[in-house]
Amino acid sequence: MSLFIKKPLESLMAQAADSDKGLKRTLGPVNLIALGIGAIIGAGLFVRTAAAAGDSAGPAVVISFIIAALGCAFAGLCYAEFASMIPVAGSAYTYAYATMGEFIAWIIGWALVLEYALASATVSIAWSEYLNKLLESFELGSIPYQWTHSPLETSAEGVTGIMNLPAFFIVAALSLVLIKGTKESALVNAIIVVVKVTIVLIFIALGWSYINPANYTPFMIPEGTPGHEGFFEHGWGGVLNGAGVVFFAFIGFDAVSTAAQESSNPKRDMPIGILGSLIVCTVLYILFSRVLTGVANYQDFQVAGKEASVAFAIEKYMTGYGWLAKLITLAILAGFSSVILVMLLGQSRVFYSMSKDGLIPGVFSELHEKFRTPYKSNIILLFFVGAFAAFIPGSIAGDLTSIGTLFAFVLVCVGVWVMRVKNPGVNRPFKTPLVPFVPIMGILVCSAMIISLDQATQLSALVWMIIGLFVYFGYSKNHSKLRL
């Protein structure tokens, strides 16, 4: 039987209609927009903006955000069509199964592990670091090094880590919230979103009057600048590389589509949730990056302040606003929390769909009798992601999260185009405009950002995919329900 056997649309629609036995439909458009913002505004905004400006784009990091947003917008329009047409958990994996076949669906599902599970672990490690920063800023002491670092890390004083206890704690706490129910998870996420967006708006409003126009000249890093000799380290090449770096800041809006089976009215609400959260965050990102590179010169971020870039800029250039630096640290901590929550939600829903199809064991699709959440999947992820967070250094993840997501975006854009050709008569509550122009542009922009990432990341992603092929041919292909 062909590797590219497709899951019939009729089967997917029947799965979506089975609301009595499946996931509980409790989310409205506001919940979905908040879910998207919760996943999007996190480490990317507060950390990657300065890194991209200092290393490659300069003040033109604003354009980097616009390029990344365009790539996401093209992909987002394609996601919106699929999510309204096939309102089933699983996101890009499910869409690929219906359009390009099982083998491509497996590859995309495997790639999404890089986005969701790996991102959850990586962000939880950063959450631990910023918890200590927050405790120190309020002069409450700090958690000892050995309990905030993995056994593979040793401090300058010779202290070796035992386990990252706060990182494991936040993964466990948010996993328990997810087990309790999607509605409760959405409420927790909404509260966090209000906190962090408010703090971002305060920084933009107060920082605007501290902008030094001289910091915008030169707008792009000039050719020949020491330390920026490579094509992707200055000029337009640097701006494109910056787009690949800050793209991490947009990761998450696609996680809205994983909740399609829990949306009250997916045909109407899914496009609103996906595109609404993307629009809100894009506006905030452009304003935020404009203010940050105006308050501090991009060269400051080459040598200092990368990890705590916003607090660094406030403390150095905005006299009298030390309290805002503390609030920024709080916003970062809140941002990390909601990102972890939505990433864990997304991963469990992708596994739910893959398990229902037989490509991974059935335990991942077993629902709690009362809460109707995939609680066993959440528990397994708690220990898998928690173990990674507790015992592995965060630096290992690198840009793998971005490349996994970009790959998924490319295949979703291809899928919409294929579906328009193969199934033109299918009911589409939301239609991606200007097909095939929009899908082609999504493919080109996202592919360009993949190419701009470093070779070590590309090689690591290739190794991950090879491991996935062994899993597919060793287990999944033989247990696929379509093949039984």
List of residues 6+ apart from 44 with CB closer than 8 A: 246, 248, 249, 250, 251
Taking the C-alpha atoms of residue 106 and residue 116, their distance in angstroms, rounded to an integer, is: 15
pLDDT in tens, 391-419: 887 655 555 677 777 888 888 899 889 88
Select the more confidently predicted residue: 446 or 471: 471
Both structure tokens of 117: 């599970």
Q: Answer whether 89's CB lies under 8 Å from 388's CB.
A: no
Q: Which of 72, 77, 78, 33 is nearest to 273 (CA)?
A: 33
Is residue 317 within 8 Å of residue 56, measured between CB atoms? no
In this predicted structure, the answer to whether residue 261 has a pLDDT above a threshold of 80 is no
Token digits of residue 325: 């630096």
Q: What is the mean pLDDT of residues 305-311?
A: 64
Structure token digits, residue 268: 């109407």
Q: What is the mean pLDDT of residues 436-443?
A: 92
| CA separation for the pair 125, 171 (Å, rounded) | 10
Q: What is the pLDDT of residues 64-118, one digit of tens each?
A: 999 888 888 888 888 888 888 777 766 778 888 888 889 988 988 888 887 788 8
Mean pLDDT of 260-276: 79
Which of 53-57, 189-193, 371-375, 392-396 bottoms out in mean pLDDT, i.e. has the lowest? 392-396
C-beta of residue 269 within 8 angstroms of C-beta of residue 277: no
Preceding peptide of 222 cis, ω within 30°: no
All structural domains of the chain, each given as residue ranges with its CATH number in brackets, are 24-479 (1.20.1740.10)
pLDDT at 391: 87
pTM of the model: 0.77
Query: Is 287's pLDDT higher than 90?
Result: yes
Distances 134 to 128, 211, 308 between C-alpha atoms, Å: 10, 26, 12
- pLDDT tens figures, 104-140: 889 888 888 877 888 888 888 888 888 887 888 777 8
pLDDT tens digits, 223-245: 877 777 777 777 888 888 888 77
- Report the C-alpha gap between 99 and 118 in whole angstroms: 27
**Contacts with 104 (C-beta within 8 Å, 6 or more apart), sequence order:** 4, 96, 411
At 312 the pLDDT is: 79
Task: Give me 229's structure tokens.
Answer: 């000799």
- Which letter does DSSP use for residue 394 in this model? G
